[in-house]
């Protein structure tokens, strides 16, 4: 049976237990001690998870092994750990990782810092409008989540060229803050802002606060979980973005971490040790970010999927 | 008079916020809505970045799509990949979520690990899996050590195996996401349903089919729709893993658009395919969402 509760379930009505007392008591006891009585379940869960994360495990262990050790036993833990792969990755003459990290951080921070106020102000504005125009606007915005980036890529580059911003960071950031990311921010914020009672806004209005002030000093602190969700997911997506930086920035403006890895690792033959070293270091920041913020990550996904 | 003053004051109160909100909407229109119409417009021309003038060619681009065998094979592959990966990732997601749906520490650690593939960029995912699948890669080394195979298997070198490999990698990435979505849904199922059904004598499988699968229906809608959309616009993983090869067998429509635009310099034709992909995605997403929503209501 699927034992649902780790705590003993509530006592059942007597009339039921009179039908089959032994069976029910057995079930209750089994549910209460489910974990200890089912080591198979835990073993199975551990084995499947291990298989599932094995590519990540391989990256981590092989980043610390010599080329010979990788080739002879790729799955073994590093028995003679070496830091040479990591130091080769860091000391590359093209400074792939350092420049990539710098450029990615600039892009992510600027994009998210602009998306948060734009998205939340827009959401606050429309969440107080009548339902019909709001539904229309949200429908138009939902298209932003669905449109494949390849569809808007060429025109976006043409518009940026018109503005003199093609192949620049401001151009890339502008493309980031206005695409599907904006839609995502609005959807999350509107979900949270609808839950705020109108009286809160009314009271502030009577006290003489303008909309701008209400939004910034009253609404924003109330929707902090939404801001956390938006910040986390947008940072991750913009950090991992590939198509936009590849074609909007172009090769001359330096690379973000993703395009940098793609262009330099893809072009020359590289031994496995170096490759794993680079992948390990490049993946470190998002993974550490996820592990420290995992509660908010999961909470964000949960909120998003139940709305 | 009174109401006039109030109206004026409220308009003034709204200006600052309205400006920021308006700016957000303006950017969205300039960079999403306008580009869609610009693509639509280009799709009726022979636009080419090497030539300054472009001409209206009517439906010629759409007509050449009918005879473009490479395009057809990318569409077939993209649809097959979307279907296969969506089914696999959601089946794995539900089962994995049921398995991990406990509150003890071990299970929480395993849950944390399950979402990890979602966090890593497609480029890194592609390269790591490439070292696994490539001819002298980790998978072949392990299989040789274990004595399962004697000559290396060409995971990425033969069309069908390469397609399978791409499917495995994309399923791997999406399964982390679907697992977390289904876990969230499982936690909202009231435990009384299981208690009541076990008193009625329902077995594990019956409970799974009659309670679990039905109660996670809203999560299925979200999870399936997002899986489909993700695969339909997939670009980075395939580009790194196989670059669409061998012999275009793993080329997605999204990749083909970029190739036609930037390698073949046929902006007009690329726009026509992009519009077709957009329509295809919209129809699929709306149909599937509609069907799954109806299933939610049927409960």
- Select from A21, A56, A82 the last residue of a domain: A82
Q: Where do runs of H (alpha helix) occur along A219-256?
A: 220-222, 224-240, 243-244
Residues A261 and A113 in one domain: yes
| Domain, as residue range, for A126 | 96-306
What sign does the CA torsion over A63, A66, A72, A76 have?
A: negative
Of A1, A73, A155, the CB nearest to B198: A1
B142·A236 Cβ contact <8 A = no
Residues A277 and A211 in one domain: yes
What pLDDT, on a 0 to 100 scale, did the predictor assign at position B137?
A: 83
- Please list every residue in chain A whose beta carbon sits closer than 8 Å to the beta carbon of residue B261: 153-154
Is the pLDDT confidence value at A122 over 60?
yes
- Please list every residue in chain A whose beta carbon sits closer than 8 Å to the beta carbon of residue B208: 2
| A positions 77-116 inside 8 Å of B (CB) | none
Residues A22 and A48 in one domain: no
- Please list every residue in chain A whose beta carbon sits closer than 8 Å to the beta carbon of residue B175: 52
Residues A105 and A250 in one domain: yes
Residues A25 and A68 in one domain: no
Pick from A266, A279, A259, A271: nearest CA to A57? A279
Is the pLDDT confidence value at B201 over 70?
yes
- A243 and B233 Cβ atoms separated by less than 8 Å: no
- Please list every residue in chain A whose beta carbon sits closer than 8 Å to the beta carbon of residue B113: 49, 52-53
What pLDDT, on a 0 to 100 scale, did the predictor assign at position A84?
A: 85
Is the pLDDT confidence value at A12 over 50?
no
Pick from A98, A121, A102: nearest CA to A110? A102
DSSP state for residue A248 in the 8-state scheme: I
Mean pLDDT across chain A, nearest whole number? 80
A292 domain residue, yes or no? yes
- Please list every residue in chain B whose beta carbon sits closer than 8 Å to the beta carbon of residue A151: 35-36, 39, 257, 274-275, 277-278
Residues A116 and A154 in one domain: yes
Residues A169 and A287 in one domain: yes
A91 domain residue, yes or no? no
A90 domain residue, yes or no? no
State how far the alpha carbon of B183 is from the alpha carbons of A38, B114, B187, in Å: 20, 11, 6
- Lowest-pLDDT range of A95-99, A248-252, B9-13: B9-13
What pLDDT, on a 0 to 100 scale, did the predictor assign at position B8?
A: 52
Furthest CA-CA distance within chain A:
82
Is the pLDDT confidence value at B65 over 60?
yes
Task: Report the number of secondary-structure helices (H) and strands (E) in chain B.
Answer: 16, 0
Which range of A3-17, B23-37, B160-174, B236-250 scores highest in mean pLDDT? It is B160-174
Q: Which residue has the higher pLDDT, A99 or B297?
A: A99
B120·A240 Cβ contact <8 A = yes
In whole angstroms, what is the distance from residue A165 CA to residue B264 CA?
24
**Angle of helix A169-178 relative to helix A180-193, nearest 10 degrees?**
40
Q: What is the CA angle A205-A209-A215, rounded to 5?
A: 90
Q: By three-state DSSP, how is residue A270 classified?
A: coil
Number of cross-chain residue pairs from A and B with Cβ atoms under 8 Å apart: 281
Rounded to a whole number of angstroms, the distance from the CA of B224 to the nearest CA of chain A is 12
Domain residue ranges of chain B, discontinuous segments joined by +: 1-31, 63-297
- Select from A48, A82, A116 the last residue of a domain: A82
**Stretch A92-109: mean pLDDT:** 88
What pLDDT, on a 0 to 100 scale, did the predictor assign at position A187?
A: 87
Confidence band of B293 (pLDDT split at 50, 70, 90): confident
Residues A146 and A270 in one domain: yes
What pLDDT, on a 0 to 100 scale, did the predictor assign at position A2?
A: 39
Q: ipTM of this predicted complex?
A: 0.85
User: What CATH architecture does domain B63-297 belong to?
Assistant: Orthogonal Bundle (1.10)
Is the pLDDT confidence value at B52 over 80?
no
How big, in percent rounded to 5, are the helix, strand and coil portions of chain A? 75, 0, 25
Confidence band of A221 (pLDDT split at 50, 70, 90): very high
What pLDDT, on a 0 to 100 scale, did the predictor assign at position B112?
A: 86
Residues A15 and A155 in one domain: no
What pLDDT, on a 0 to 100 scale, did the predictor assign at position A13?
A: 38
Q: Which residue in chain B is spatially nearest to A277 when comparing CA positions? A: B128
- A244 and A108 Cβ atoms separated by less than 8 Å: no
Residues A70 and A183 in one domain: no
Measured in degrees and rounded to the nearest 5, phi and psi for residue B50 equal -85, -15
A24 domain residue, yes or no? yes
What pLDDT, on a 0 to 100 scale, did the predictor assign at position B93?
A: 92
Is the pLDDT confidence value at A19 over 80?
no
Confidence band of B294 (pLDDT split at 50, 70, 90): confident
């Amino acid at each position: 049976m699927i034992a649902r509760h780790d705590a003993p379930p509530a006592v059942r009505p007597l009339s039921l237990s009179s039908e089959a007392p032994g069976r029910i008591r057995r079930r209750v006891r089994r549910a209460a001690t489910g974990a200890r009585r089912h080591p198979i379940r835990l073993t199975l869960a551990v084995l499947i998870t291990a298989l599932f994360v094995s590519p990540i495990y391989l990256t981590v262990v092989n980043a610390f092994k010599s080329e010979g050790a990788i080739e002879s036993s790729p799955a073994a833990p590093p028995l003679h750990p070496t830091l040479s792969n990591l130091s080769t990755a860091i000391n590359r003459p093209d400074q792939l990782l350092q420049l990539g990290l710098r450029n990615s951080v600039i892009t992510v921070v600027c994009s998210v810092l602009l998306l948060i106020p734009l998205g939340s102000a827009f959401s606050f504005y429309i969440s107080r409008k009548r339902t019909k125009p709001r539904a229309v606007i949200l429908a138009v915005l939902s298209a932003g989540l669905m449109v494949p980036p390849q569809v808007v890529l060429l025109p976006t580059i043409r518009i940026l060229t018109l503005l003199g911003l093609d192949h620049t960071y401001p151009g890339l950031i502008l493309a980031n803050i206005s695409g599907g990311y904006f839609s995502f921010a609005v959807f999350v914020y509107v979900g949270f802002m609808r839950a705020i009672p109108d009286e809160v806004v009314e009271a502030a209005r009577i006290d003489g606060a303008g909309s701008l002030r209400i939004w910034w000093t009253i609404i924003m602190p109330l929707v902090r979980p939404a801001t956390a969700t938006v910040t986390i997911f947008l940072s991750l997506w913009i950090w991992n973005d590939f198509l936009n930086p590849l074609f909007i920035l172009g090769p001359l403006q330096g690379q973000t971490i993703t395009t940098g890895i793609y262009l330099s690792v893809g072009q020359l033959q590289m031994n496995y040790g170096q490759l794993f070293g680079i992948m390990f270091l490049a993946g470190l920041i998002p993974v550490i970010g996820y592990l420290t913020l995992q509660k908010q990550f999961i909470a964000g996904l949960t909120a998003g999927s139940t709305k | 008079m009174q109401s006039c003053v109030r109206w004026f004051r409220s308009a003034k109160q709204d200006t600052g916020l309205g400006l920021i909100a308006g700016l957000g909407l303006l950017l969205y229109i300039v960079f999403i809505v306008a580009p869609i119409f610009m693509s639509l417009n280009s799709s009726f021309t022979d636009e080419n970045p090497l030539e300054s003038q472009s001409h209206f060619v009517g439906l010629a681009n759409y007509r050449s799509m009918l005879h473009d065998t490479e395009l057809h094979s990318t569409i077939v592959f993209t649809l097959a990949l979307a279907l296969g990966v969506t089914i696999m990732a959601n089946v794995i997601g539900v089962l994995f979520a049921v398995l991990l749906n406990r509150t003890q520490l071990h299970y929480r650690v395993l849950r944390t690990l399950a979402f990890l593939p979602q966090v890593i960029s497609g480029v890194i995912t592609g390269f790591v899996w490439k070292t696994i699948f490539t001819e002298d890669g980790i998978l072949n080394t392990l299989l040789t050590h274990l004595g399962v195979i004697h000559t290396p298997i060409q995971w990425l070198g033969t069309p069908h195996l390469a397609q399978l490999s791409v499917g495995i990698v994309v399923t791997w990435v999406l399964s982390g996401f679907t697992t977390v979505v289904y876990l969230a849904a499982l936690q909202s199922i009231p435990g009384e349903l299981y208690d009541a059904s076990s008193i009625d004598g329902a077995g594990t499988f019956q409970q799974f089919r009659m309670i679990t699968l039905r109660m996670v229906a809203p999560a299925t809608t979200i999870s399936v729709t997002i899986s489909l959309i993700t695969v339909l616009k997939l670009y980075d993983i395939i580009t790194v893993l196989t670059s669409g090869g061998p012999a275009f067998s793993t080329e997605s429509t999204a990749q083909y658009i970029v190739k036609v635009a930037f390698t073949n310099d046929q902006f007009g034709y690329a726009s026509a395919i992009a519009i077709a992909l957009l329509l295809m995605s919209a129809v699929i997403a709306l149909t599937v969402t509609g069907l799954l929503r109806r299933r939610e209501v049927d409960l």
